[in-house]
Structure 1
Amino acid sequence: MQSTTVATERDQNTQWSPQRRNLAGACLAHLLHDGFTDQLYALLPVWQREFGLSYAGLAVVRALYYGTMGGLQVPADRLTARLSARAALAMATFLAAAGFLVMALPFGLPGLCAGLIFAGIGSSIQHPRASLLVTDTYGNAARGPLGIYNFAGDLGKAIFPAIVALLLPLMAWRPVVGLMAVVGLAVASALLMLLPQQPSTPHLKQEKEGKGQDGRGFGLLLTIGAFDTATRMGYLLFLPFLLHAKGGEEATVGIGLALLFAGGALGKACCGWLGQHLGVVWSVIITEAMTALLMIASLSLPLTPTLIVLPLLGIFLNGTSSVLYGTVPELSKKGEVGRAFALFYTGVIGSGGLAPIAYGAIADHWDRTAGIVAAALTAAAIIPMVLALRPFLGTRAH
């Protein structure tokens, strides 16, 4: 009996134990799907020229993917509940890749819109199922692995837009999108080989982390998360055009996006540490204040200083989400931590899909500068909200 236990522990500590394979599979899926999502920013200027879209129209086209992905989080989680994580994540990746294949076909703007919707349906499955896979695998010790999972998504955000932007001067945009679809199909196959056919034993204690809140604190947290995402997506909508206006080429846009997303990945770790030492309230105040200031600063800086500032901006722009995400279990109702995460994803992703339409309309009515200033003011508006959240946070507030 003892030898069996020792053998089991030794197997769990090996590189390819089921536990680590689950984490690696979740990270691979997150890397690809977040990369798919944010590579669209490098394509926006190309689509605007080809289809004659306004800023608001461009935001609507993008929202077909982002809004579909966000709005279907909870339904997709329920519909795939009977599937294993292995089957659900492979299917999600295959559907997303198929959507990009449709976009690559010469069907004009209707084909582009249909492909974005189809890809959004596939990506809607990834967040809830991959997060649940990591949570079930590690139980109460899932906070660290969830941080690795979130970092993998930011890594995809840094890699894919840069690759697309570097390929655009060499190839037409449809072959570039088709190549990304092939990458997605390859990752779907890799997930089938990497993830265990039978899931590891779930650690159901994770569901007990909810503190029995009445919902007001979680609702306020969700609102803060939505405003934070709106700020980020609003700035990203205008960043390619801002860099072009400063004299940047397509490759420069890719480098700029990569620098911003690389800073965002670092922000996940830095702001998590900041949250542990300063508490939720002060961490969010610092990150949102710096976000607003650096966004305004990027308007007047020349191209090279702007590129230098972008990694620092990325740390604060993306770091807040790490603090907010780790607060979800504390403010969820008892026994509903999983559902709280699905609702939180729905709110922030939905905000990310819809808010740029408003910012785009502002830019169409005034100019791009007004759109970026509006996004910066959204970040500043979070500060009084997080002060109102303080009574619901207990010892984690300070």
Structure 2
Amino acid sequence: MMKTTNSSAAIDPKALAQTTVYSILFTISFTHLLNDMMQSVIPAIYPLMKDNFQLSFTEIGLITFTFQVTASLLQPFVGHFTDKTPRPYSLAIGMSFTLAGLISLAFASSFIAILISVSLIGMGSSVFHPESSRVAHLASGGKKGLAQSIFQLGGNAGAAIGPLLAALIVVPYGQFNIIWFAFIAILGIIVLFRVGTWYKGHLISKSKNKTVAVPANHKALSKTKVITSLGILLVLIFSKYFYMASMSSYFTFYLIDKFHVTVQQSQIYLFIFLASVAAGTLLGGALGDRFGRKYIIWISILGAAPFTLLLPYANLFWCGVLSVIIGLIMSSAFSAILVYATELVPGKVGMIAGLFFGFAFGMGGLGSAVLGKLADITSVGYVFKVCAFLPLIGFVTGFLPNIEQTKKAAASA
């Protein structure tokens, strides 16, 4: 699978940049699956932790907030640093933090110990996402939307599988069984070491040809316009991930409270939602490459609004159906947003990926904490009624420039 490693130094960088290295894309997608599978164990065991440690919804929200903040704050700095001085084996090192966090979480005996454990897992994520996004970009061969979608597909699939495995392994048998996920982290370290070897070979090949220029796609856009566009994209990330926080952290509680399903049954509904998110992710990047990222961003945020508004009033069956539709539509946004942002600021893939992954995680963590407090004050059902309006923020997509047209105009000038 990794045969490109040994010969990469002999490949012309220009030819390499035009070749889509699917073996690397699917390998990095697989490690994203492992990474997010392990991370998704955290919200999946919330009902168990809530009972074991007598936690409030506010404390549940603080667990997510701690994880998301440690996962988000470091990402732009990691990305900015590695833009200047790439570190191919940092991916394996980051996964080692996740391994330490999982072992610590399996043995955690207090609320503080839980917070320390999830912060270690968050630190692993802060290294993994910007660097693995860079690897996907390098292996894209110009198909940047497709490459990000393949990469994101792994993460979303892992996020879907994680709660299902937690329902089968951890919830019935207890907290200590989180230790089984540590073996997944060890597998991830091994695979990422191999990816790091390919990455190192790519850098060596690139360094031998200094004539490969950094693309400057959008000189026609002013600095103010670029900054404004990045701000709009971050607002859209806020809308998406605040809503996703309500689903990932509180959907199980909502189903248990309103429909009196068991914890295991609620996890199955969460798995169905997250599986639809994984499916929608792959479509978003490919469609963005073909039809334009602005249109995909618009549809994926604003288009989810009718279904989020219906969800709080649906019965159990339609709640499941609507969650699938919401997952399919809303999940197509992130790959398109990320690639759009990297095209606005070419040559800064690590920093942009770190900024957007970090902001997404931060908004997810803040959303979970705020919504947990709101659930304590009111009810979980009220949380979903409030969050239903968030996708309406998608109307601000109309203020984004059509960068595909800008590229064509620059090329013809």
Q: What is the TM-score of this pair, normalised by structure 2?
A: 0.82
Cα distance in 1 between the residues matched to 2:148 and 2:284:
14
Cα distance in 2 between the residues matched to 1:354 and 1:260:
21
User: What CA deviation, in whole Å up to 9, does each residue of 1:115-161 have, x standing for no partner?
Assistant: 11111111110111111122223453443222211111111111111
> Are 1:233 and 1:356, in contact at CA under 8 Å, matched by a contact in 2?
yes
> Are 1:165 and 1:253, in contact at CA under 8 Å, matched by a contact in 2?
no
Select the residue among 129, 132, 135 that pairs with 2:134: 132
* 2:202 counterpart of 1:192: no
Structural mapping, 1:160-199, within 5 Å:
160-175=162-177, 177-193=178-194, 196=197, 198-199=200-201
Q: Give 1:164 shift.
A: 0.6
Look up the match of 1:23: 25
Structure 2 unaligned spans of 5+: 1-6, 12-18, 408-413
Cα distance in 2 between the residues matched to 1:239 and 1:169:
17
Q: Which has the higher contact order (CA 8 A, sep 6+)?
A: 2
Look up the match of 2:154: 152
> Are 2:66 and 2:118, in contact at CA under 8 Å, matched by a contact in 1?
yes
Cα distance in 1 between the residues matched to 2:121 and 2:213:
31
> Are 1:28 and 1:152, in contact at CA under 8 Å, matched by a contact in 2?
yes
Look up the match of 2:336: 323
Q: 1:286 to 1:106 in 2, by over 3 A?
A: closer
User: What is the DSSP-based 3-state SS (H/G/I as helix, E as strand, rest coil) of the residue aligned with 1:211?
Assistant: coil
Q: 1:211 to 1:396 in 2, by over 3 A?
A: closer
* 2:237 counterpart of 1:208: no
Q: Give 1:31 shift.
A: 1.0
Cα distance in 2 between the residues matched to 1:323 and 1:58:
31
Q: Give 1:29 shift.
A: 2.2
Select the residue among 329, 354, 359 that pairs with 2:366: 354
User: What is the DSSP-based 3-state SS (H/G/I as helix, E as strand, rest coil) of the residue aligned with 2:173?
Assistant: coil
Cα distance in 2 between the residues matched to 1:342 and 1:43:
27
Aligned amino acid, residue 182 of structure 2: A
Moved more, 268-277 or 304-313: 268-277
Look up the match of 1:100: 102
Select the residue among 241, 244, 256 that pairs with 2:253: 241
Look up the match of 1:340: 352
Look up the match of 1:60: 62
Q: Give 1:248 shift.
A: 2.1
Q: What is the TM-score of this pair, normalised by structure 1?
A: 0.85
User: What is the DSSP-based 3-state SS (H/G/I as helix, E as strand, rest coil) of the residue aligned with 1:196?
Assistant: helix
Q: Give 1:392 shift.
A: 5.9
Cα distance in 1 between the residues matched to 2:330 and 2:313:
18
Cα distance in 2 between the residues matched to 1:206 and 1:187:
33
% identity of equivalent residues: 19
| Number of aligned positions between the proteins | 379
User: What is the DSSP-based 3-state SS (H/G/I as helix, E as strand, rest coil) of the residue aligned with 1:171?
Assistant: coil
Look up the match of 1:14: none
Look up the match of 2:399: 388
> Are 1:225 and 1:348, in contact at CA under 8 Å, matched by a contact in 2?
yes
Look up the match of 1:267: 280
Q: 1:240 to 1:262 in 2, by over 3 A?
A: same
Cα distance in 2 between the residues matched to 1:278 and 1:128:
26
Cα distance in 2 between the residues matched to 1:235 and 1:392:
32
Q: 1:180 to 1:230 in 2, by over 3 A?
A: same
Aligned amino acid, residue 260 of structure 1: F
Cα distance in 2 between the residues matched to 1:79 and 1:338:
8
> Are 1:288 and 1:382, in contact at CA under 8 Å, matched by a contact in 2?
yes
Moved more, 290-299 or 356-365: 290-299
User: What is the DSSP-based 3-state SS (H/G/I as helix, E as strand, rest coil) of the residue aligned with 1:57?
Assistant: helix
Q: Give 1:194 shift.
A: 5.8
User: What is the DSSP-based 3-state SS (H/G/I as helix, E as strand, rest coil) of the residue aligned with 1:327?
Assistant: helix
Cα distance in 1 between the residues matched to 2:293 and 2:143:
20
Question: How much is the aligned-residue C-alpha RMSD, in angstroms?
Answer: 2.9
Q: 1:207 to 1:225 in 2, by over 3 A?
A: farther
Cα distance in 1 between the residues matched to 2:317 and 2:195:
42
Q: Give 1:277 shift.
A: 6.3
User: What is the DSSP-based 3-state SS (H/G/I as helix, E as strand, rest coil) of the residue aligned with 1:127?
Assistant: helix
Structural mapping, 1:70-109, within 5 Å:
70-77=72-79, 82=85, 84-85=87-88, 87-109=89-111
User: What CA deviation, in whole Å up to 9, does each residue of 1:162-217 have, x standing for no partner?
Assistant: 11112234310232x11112221232123335653642234996841552441221
Q: 1:92 to 1:300 in 2, by over 3 A?
A: same
Cα distance in 1 between the residues matched to 2:95 and 2:62:
23
